[in-house]
Amino acid sequence: MQLCYAADIKSPQPFIVNGKKAVWSDFKKAKYNIFFDINTKKSFAYSEITFEISQTGYPIFDVLGTPTSVKINNVEVGQLEIDTPNKESKVRIAHRKLTPGTYLLSIKSPIVKGVSYKKGELAAGFFMKDMKDRELLERYIPANYEYDQFKINLSINVNDESNKYELFTNGEMQTDEKGITHVSYPEYFTSSSLYFHLTKKSKFKRIDYKYRSVDGRDLPITIYSKSTRLNRRLKRKVNKVIKELEGDYGPWPHPQFILYGTGKLRGGMEYAGAAVSGWFAVGHELQHNYFARSVMPANGDAGWIDEAVASWRDFFSLSRKKPKYDSMNLGNHGQYVRKTDKRSYKSGRSFMAYINNLLKKESSKLGEKCLKDFFKEYYIKNKFKTITSESFRSDLEAYAGRSFKEEFKRYIYGNNMPLSHDHHDHAENENPYHPDLTDEQLNDLL
């Protein structure tokens, strides 16, 4: 069943720039032909994206590397990189005014991040971060904002006759007679779902095994790292946490799980059925495979939800009479923002503990209610869908039988703060679960 959503449901509003109306696209499917050339040390992608627009204007897409060719229905049109209205981010528009309809967008673009050709061998990783702008799939290949879900197919071409490579990715792989690897990904994916790590064969130690899910599936799990000992330790932790999460929320949502183990105390990043993590953060990243990469944020202002849920679990389902802050804007930064507020861990956890306390306090009126039970219902309802802060509040209110409008206004949207207060930088200290890695640190993961 197609799980794509129309662009006018949760997409930002169109806007005018230099007299041109930029309109948001609804990607239907995207096919990427990716080329890595060990001789020239060049990497690029040929992308073919079928999309719809519902308004007349210039269609929006994004990719960090400046495209060398952009075509609409096989006609060269060029592109422009533009700022969103308040300079929250940058995006690109195809330089052709279109009427509502379905079109084919063809792009050739260099892959400018996440590739290394050191020592005569290739390493590539589409590693993502959601704490900074333009750090999701668009960092590597053309993509859309997170509201959009679409079918993805990759073909990977490696020009290197001297080395053999292996690909760790969360899709179905096939290799043809020419040695080209083709990967198909689920239709529920967004720009933060895809996991891609291409390495020289045997560079990492790996273990592959099956885990019996509660629904009877033999879930394929791959764990890889630089240490066999770490892999064994990670396997024990993964099995323990999956058992916990399946008990809380139901069967593992994805077709597989891939874990890249980066050490003992390092944090990481989650993907749909995959994670990069140290032993310390495995539980946090596995939780995100339910809340973040199964129930998925539609925009940056919804990113606080999954971090709050995972952080609340990390601290054993705490309850609090009130949050540890008077008022804060975690989810009202603007429709064009596509990064998560860094305060979502500690402050979001505090808010969830407060909501849990309210639910338990009012259980005599509502029947037995608690936050974990709500999360289960919420997950089942919204599995493989994108959500917003307001849809989360609506579902919470339906579960509790009461309004949370005032609590959200004060503690999530910051309505009790002085107007000028939110323009300052209030980022908390770096969270150990999702460290803000530099480009150099990301390249070290390759």
Question: Which DSSP letter does residue 208 get?
Answer: E
Look up residue 255 and give its amino acid. P
Residue 257: pLDDT over 70: yes
- Which part of the chain is CATH 2.60.40.1730? 7-195
Residue 55 φ/ψ, nearest 5 degrees: -135, 155
Q: For residues 436 and 406, what is the distance between their CA atoms, to the nearest angstrom? A: 33
- Which part of the chain is CATH 1.10.390? 295-423
pLDDT of residue 172: 98
> Which has more pLDDT, 361 or 103?
103
Pairing of strands 151-159, 196-200: unpaired
Residue 180 φ/ψ, nearest 5 degrees: -85, 130
Altogether, the residues listed in the chain come to a count of: 446
User: Could you tell me the sign of the dihedral formed by the alpha carbons of 410, 416, 419, 420, in that order?
Assistant: negative
Pairing of strands 15-17, 20-23: antiparallel
The string of pLDDT tens digits covering residues 262-317 is: 987 677 899 999 999 999 899 999 999 999 999 999 999 999 999 999 999 998 66
**pLDDT band for position 388 (cuts 50, 70, 90):** very high
Residue 188: pLDDT over 90: yes
Q: For residues 106 and 266, what is the distance between their CA atoms, to the nearest angstrom? A: 39
CATH of 7-195 given 3.90.1150.10, 3.40.50.300, 2.60.40.1730, 3.90.870.10 = 2.60.40.1730
Residue 215 φ/ψ, nearest 5 degrees: -90, 5
Q: For residues 105 and 92, what is the distance between their CA atoms, to the nearest angstrom? A: 13
Angle between helices 346-361 and 303-314 (to 10 degrees): 70
pLDDT of residue 70: 99
CATH numeric code, 295-423:
1.10.390
CATH of 205-289 given 3.40.30.10, 3.30.2010.30, 3.30.1380.10, 3.30.300.130 = 3.30.2010.30
What does the mean pLDDT of the chain come to? 93
Q: For residues 130 and 122, what is the distance between their CA atoms, to the nearest angstrom? A: 26
Question: Which DSSP letter does residue 243 get?
Answer: H
- Which part of the chain is CATH 3.30.2010.30? 205-289
pLDDT of residue 6: 41
**pLDDT band for position 1 (cuts 50, 70, 90):** very low
Least reliable range by pLDDT among 254-268, 270-284, 323-337: 254-268
Q: For residues 344 and 412, what is the distance between their CA atoms, to the nearest angstrom? A: 10
- What one-character-per-residue DSSP string does 378-390 give? HHHHHTTEEE-HH
What percent of the chain has a predicted confidence (pLDDT) above 70? Answer: 92
**pLDDT band for position 21 (cuts 50, 70, 90):** very high
Residues 6+ apart with CB under 8 A from 114: 124, 125, 126, 127, 139, 140, 442, 443, 446
Contact (Cβ atoms closer than 8 angstroms) between residue 315 and residue 400:
no
Numbers of helices and strands, H then E, in the chain: 10, 24
The string of pLDDT tens digits covering residues 131-145 is: 899 999 999 999 999
pLDDT of residue 187: 96
pTM for the model: 0.94
The string of pLDDT tens digits covering residues 392-442 is: 999 999 999 999 999 999 999 999 665 444 544 455 555 777 777 888 888
